[in-house]
Chains A and B, each alone.
Chain A
Amino acid sequence: MKLDGKIPEGPLEQKWSLHKKNMKLVAPNNRRKYEVIIVGTGLAGGAAAASLAEMGYKVKSFCIQDSARRAHSIAAQGGINAAKNYPNDGDSVWRLFYDTIKGGDYRSREANVYRLAEVANNIIDQAVAQGVPFAREYSGLLANRSFGGAQVSRTFYARGQTGQQLLLGAYQAMMRQVQEGGVEYFPRHEMLEVVIIDGKARGIITRDLVSGEIVRHEADAVVLATGGYGNVFYLSTNAKNSNVTAAWRAHKKGALFANPCYVQVHPTCIPVSGDYQSKLTLMSESLRNDGRVWVPRKKGDDRHPNDIPDEERYYYLEERYPSFGNLVPRDVASRNAKLVCDEGLGVGETGLAVYLDFRDAIKRDGLDTISAKYGNLFDMYHNIAGENPYKQPMKIYPAVHYTMGGLWVDYNLMTNVPGLFATGEANFSDHGANRLGASALMQGLSDGYFVLPATIGNYLADEEIGKRYGTDHAEFEKAAGEAQAQIDKLLSIKGKRTIVDFHRTLGKIVWDNIGIARNAEDLKKAIKEIQELREEFWTNVYVPGEKNNYNKYLEFAGRVADFFELAELMAKDALDREESCGCHLREEYQSEEGEAIRNDEDFSYVAAWEYQGVNGELKEQLHKENLEFEFVELKQRSYK
Chain B
Amino acid sequence: MTIHLKYWKQDGPDAQGYFEEKTLDTVNEHMSFLEMLDVLNEELQLEGKDPVEFDYDCREGICGSCNLVINGQAHGPNAKTACCQLHMRTYNDGDHITIEPPRAAAFPVIKDLVVDRSGFDRIIEAGGYVSVKTGSAQEANSTPIEKHSSDMAFDYATCIGCGACVAACPNASASLFTGAKIAHLNKMPQGEVERYDRVVAMVDQMKEEGFGDCSNYGECEAVCPQGISISAIAEMRRDYVKAMFS
Give the B-binding residues of A (Cβ under 8 A): 47, 50-51, 54, 65-70, 72, 74-75, 84, 86, 122, 124-131, 133-142, 158-159, 161, 164-165, 168, 171-173, 175-176, 178-179, 185, 187, 210, 239-241, 273-274, 276-279, 281-282, 379-380, 383-384, 386, 449-450, 453, 498, 500-501, 542, 544-545, 549-553
Within 8 A of A (CB), among B37-69: 38-39, 41-42, 44-46, 49-51, 53, 55-65
Of the listed stretches B122-130, B164-172, B206-214, name the one at the interface; the rest are far from the partner chain: B122-130
Contact A179 B130 (CB under 8 A): no
**Number of residues on chain B facing chain A (CB within 8 A):** 78
Residue B25 at the chain A interface, CB threshold 8 Å: no
- CA of A281 to CA of B130 in the docked complex: distance in angstroms? 32
CA distance A172 to B128 in the complex (A): 6
| A67:B153 contact, CB within 8 angstroms | no
- Contact check, A50 vs B190: say whether CB atoms are below 8 A apart: no
In the complex, chain B residues whose CB is within 8 Å of the CB of A67: 64, 117-118, 120-121, 161
* A542 partner residues in chain B, CB cutoff 8 A: 45-46
Could you say which of B35, B137, B150, B161 contacts A129, with CB atoms under 8 Å apart? B137
- A133/B85 in contact, CB under 8 A: no
B5 contacts the other chain (CB 8 A): no
**Complexed CA–CA distance, A623 and B189 (Å):** 52
Q: Is the interface of B mostly helix, strand, loop or mixed?
A: loop
List A contacts of B65 (CB < 8 A). 65-66, 70
In the bound complex, what is the Cα–Cα distance between A381 and B54 (angstroms)?
A: 25
Minimum CB–CB distance from A85 to chain B (whole Å) comes to 11
If A67-B118, A133-B154, A449-B134 touch, whether A164 touches B87 (CB-CB below 8 Å) is no
Q: Which of B97-105, B141-149, B228-236, B238-246 contacts A (4 or more CB under 8 A)?
A: B141-149
> Which residues from chain B sit less than 8 Å from chain A, CB to CB?
11-12, 28, 30-32, 34-35, 38-39, 41-42, 44-46, 49-51, 53, 55-65, 80-81, 85, 87, 89, 110-111, 114, 116-118, 120-121, 124-126, 128-135, 137-141, 143-147, 150-151, 153-154, 157-158, 160-161, 184-185, 187-188, 190-191
Query: CB-CB < 8 A to B45: which residues of A?
Result: 498, 542, 544, 553
Q: State the Cβ distance, B92 to closest chain A Cβ, in Å.
A: 15
In the assembled complex, the CB of B12 is this many whole angstroms from the nearest CB of chain A, namely: 7
Minimum-distance CB pairs A-B, first 10: A140-B144, A172-B129, A129-B137, A133-B154, A550-B111, A125-B137, A128-B140, A239-B57, A239-B58, A133-B153
Report whether A139 and B137 are in contact in the complex, using a CB–CB cutoff of 8 Å.
no
Chain A residues whose CB sits within 8 angstroms of the CB of B39 once the complex forms: 276
Q: Is the CB of A172 within 8 A of B137?
A: no
CB pair B128–A175 under 8 Å, yes or no, is: yes
Choice from B12, B28, B58 contacting A75 with Cβ under 8 Å: B58
**Within the assembled complex, what's the spacing in Å between the Cα atoms of A84 and B141?**
10
Given contacts A136-B150, A383-B85, contact A86 B141 (CB under 8 A): yes
- The one of B31, B55, B132 in contact with A130, judged by C-beta atoms closer than 8 angstroms, is B132
- Report A-chain residues with C-beta under 8 Å of the C-beta of B187: 133
B28 to chain A, nearest CB (A): 6
CB-based contact A131/B190 at 8 Å: yes
Give the chain A neighbours of B60 by CB distance below 8 A.
75, 279, 281-282, 380
Q: Is the CB of B147 within 8 A of A125?
A: no
Bound-state Cα–Cα, A386 to B85, Å: 11
Measured CB to CB, the closest approach of chain B to A379, in angstroms, equals 8
Q: Is the CB of A129 within 8 A of B190?
A: yes
Query: Which one, A74, A164, A276, contacts B28 given CB within 8 A?
Result: A276
Known interface pairs A140-B146, A142-B141, A176-B129; A500-B134 also in contact (CB < 8 Å)? no
Contact (Cβ within 8 A) B126 A545 = no
